[in-house]
Chain A
Amino acid sequence: MHTKKIISASYIYVDDFVKVIKHFKSLNRKFVTYSPIPNHEIEEALGAKKSKIGLFTLAGGIIGLISGFSLAGFTAAEWNLILGGKPPVTLIPFVVIGFEFTILFGALATLLGLIINAKLPSYKKLKGYKPEFSVDHFGIIIEAEESELATLKDSLLGMGAKEVTYE
């Protein structure tokens, strides 16, 4: 029976990290990356599919827009406060409420989308994760056979890894 091992390597520089990602992409290997900051170069190198969170935001925004106008419209129709001879239900001032609701619902839906897409809350221990991946290091985690550990470690260090550990 062969056992799988987890290799975790940390990098300080984006350029090195992008090179590593491109290298393993070209080898068609599966890996997980961690970055303390969002970065376009890393995103491009990963070639990740477009996030679905935008759709949540759009749906939330549209629902918010409709809710805002409806809330203002229904309350105005219910109470008929006639001021300055203006009709109680008019679109012009409701734009403000519609706009605020669009933003509120859009933001809340984005948060919801984030939680659903990231499968939070998660209680599993992350394999190979190190705390510095959330501080000032980029991390890449690869699952590997025991036989290829040494070569992988060498190539990771060769591409500028600061530290490589097994688990």
Chain B
Amino acid sequence: MNREQLRQALVGSIETNDISIFKPYLIALIAVGVFGFAVGILTGDSQLVLQAYLINFVFWIGIAQGAVILSVVLRLTNAKWGRPIMRLAESASAFLPVTILLFIVVMLGGEKLFIWINEPVAHKAIYLNAPFMYSRVLVSLLLMTGLSLIYVRNSIRNDLAAIYQGKLIPERFRKLLANYDVNRIDSSNEKQTTLSVIITICYAVCYSLLAVDLIMSLDPHWISTLFGAYYFIGCFYTGIAFTIIMASFFIERPEGKIVGSKQFHDLGKLLFGFAIVNGDFFYSQFLVIWYGNLPEETHYIIERTQHQPWETIAYIVLFLSFVAPFIILLNKKIKMKPIAMRWISIAILLGLWLERTLLIAPSVAGSTSFPIGWIQITITLGFLGIVITSIKYFWSKFPMVVYGDPLLKYSLEGEK
């Protein structure tokens, strides 16, 4: 694919795409979620419903933000191979503004989730009190959403300017491109790099805070210093897996030909690497707690790894998020096959979803039987519906390849 073909494909997609995002199956998914939520609340299982909601909340914000961070990291490392998939990763940012609305439900149901709201832990009350915690989470979410959207907006502006250079800009992009100076693409790229550094640092800080506030504080007596890092590394891991799933669908579009087996190979290597990093972060915590053998630390682990039904889930998580990807992704050829990579990524996401369940569920409602029933499934489907709707909206509206990026030339024919 050379530059002109890519431009034609992009313009073709932008101008002919169906912008109506509310497909029947998406409405159905969201309706199932709302229905499950409402019925669960009405039949009195509100704690279980909120618990499932919180699990999905921390899972999907991690995916959306992790994918954006993948794009940021590709920019910071000047990765030539990754240019074709950068916009794909950025497209997950469409879900981020929704997360702030979704958090309101967590705030409304906070008393049922966070045990310390009604029974404050005396020596931690300065930090763990409802107003301070909610404002921390909201500030983190707003900051990360804001920074990510500014980053994606700049990136899209550069591409639109490059695509429509010397041509008539379509009506709906005029507002976006207002007061954009085509001669300053270079300085705009530099600004993007500066912004990327800021986003990466804020990501580490904000997502550590989110991990502590939304997951670790559910069991207010338990502490682990590595927990924040463990959560944001896991989010980045899910972000990569999700980008692979998106890429496996993206290659069916006309401009998707630019994503070749090389991109899948490299994404697969990255996924393999983060399977190990994620496993390492888990083990680093686990080993220290095991050696220290302090009751206030071990109760958390013992409940999750030696009591049923959590023990079974713990082994499933270990298998799906570490052992299976490690063994399968050693193979070079499988990393180049989009469909195979799609299913491996889905399995990894399932593993990480169960892992979030494992972190959250025993502290909130607890369970003596297998903890996944219709409430968890319907709410997860609802979240899935919202995520797909927001990403579809992005895909149909904006150019899906970073056309204006100076490093894209390494992925185009006839240029180097």
- A residues near B, CB below 8 A? 84-86, 92-93, 95-96
Contacts and interface: CB of A to CB of B under 8 A. Distances in A.
- Chain B interface secondary structure, helix, strand, loop or mixed? helix
A93 B290 contact: yes
A96 B283 CA distance: 10
Contacts of B290: 92-93
B126 interface: no
CB-CB nearest 6 A-B residue pairs:
A92-B290, A84-B293, A92-B287, A93-B287, A95-B283, A93-B291
Contacts of A95: 283, 287
Nearest to B292: A84
Nearest to B332: A50
A24 to B, nearest CB: 24
B293 A92 contact: no
Nearest to B262: A40
Contacts of A93: 287, 290-291
A140 B291 CA distance: 59
Contact of A86 (B283, B286, B287, B293): B293
A95 B287 CA distance: 9
Nearest to A92: B290
Interface string B272-284: 0000000000010
Interface of B: 283, 286-287, 290-291, 293
Contacts of A84: 293
A137 to B, nearest CB: 21
Nearest to A85: B293
B410 to A, nearest CB: 13
Given A93-B290, A95-B287, 7 more contacts: A84-B293, A85-B293, A86-B293, A92-B286, A93-B287, A95-B283, A96-B287
Nearest to A15: B416
Nearest to B283: A95
A82 B4 CA distance: 72
Contacts of B286: 92
9 contacts: A85-B293, A86-B293, A92-B286, A92-B290, A93-B287, A93-B290, A93-B291, A95-B283, A96-B287
A96 B288 CA distance: 12
A92 B298 CA distance: 14
A154 to B, nearest CB: 28
Nearest to A84: B293
Contacts of B293: 84-86
Contacts of A92: 286-287, 290
Nearest to A86: B293
Contacts of B283: 95
A86 B283 CA distance: 18
B291 to A, nearest CB: 7
A93 B290 CA distance: 9
A7 B286 CA distance: 62
Contacts of A96: 287
A85 B293 CA distance: 10
B302 to A, nearest CB: 13
Nearest to A96: B287
Contacts of B291: 93
B323 to A, nearest CB: 13
B330 to A, nearest CB: 8
B129 to A, nearest CB: 36
A90 B291 CA distance: 11
A109 B401 CA distance: 43
A93 B291 CA distance: 8
